[in-house]
Amino acid sequence: MAAEFHWDDAEDLGIELSEKFPDQNPLEVRFTDLHKMITALPTFVDDPQKSTEGKLEAIQMAWYEEWQDKNS
């Protein structure tokens, strides 16, 4: 069974996003778009309404770290 992720799984979601959107600089993604990208992931199972700015920021920063590692 595939892993299932929730809003608090920032690092795991960051990895998922970096794999799905390898050429996208995460810092150029608006939170509204980031929310859509996360909730569209097949591994994401949490309530879309439970996101917060802090959770989105944590996911974006985890994604950014992955992106930096691949693009440095």
Cα(70)–Cα(8) distance, rounded to whole angstroms?
23
Question: Looking at the domain assignment, is residue 5 inside a domain?
Answer: no
Q: Number of structural domains, the chain?
A: 1
Structural domain that includes position 24: 10-70
Is residue 26 in a domain? yes
- Euclidean distance between CA atoms 6 and 36, whole angstroms: 14
pTM, two decimal places: 0.94
DSSP category for residue 44? B
- Look at residue 36 and tell me whether its pLDDT is greater than 70: yes
Instruction: Specify if 2 maps to a domain.
Output: no
Residue-wise pLDDT for 2-20, tens only, equals 689 999 999 999 999 999 9
Cα(72)–Cα(64) distance, integer angstroms: 12
In a domain, 44, yes or no: yes
Q: Is residue 1 included in any domain, yes or no?
A: no
Question: What size, in residues, is the chain?
Answer: 72
**Token digits for 18?**
């970096």
Q: Which CATH number covers residue 50?
A: 1.10.10.600
In a domain, 23, yes or no: yes
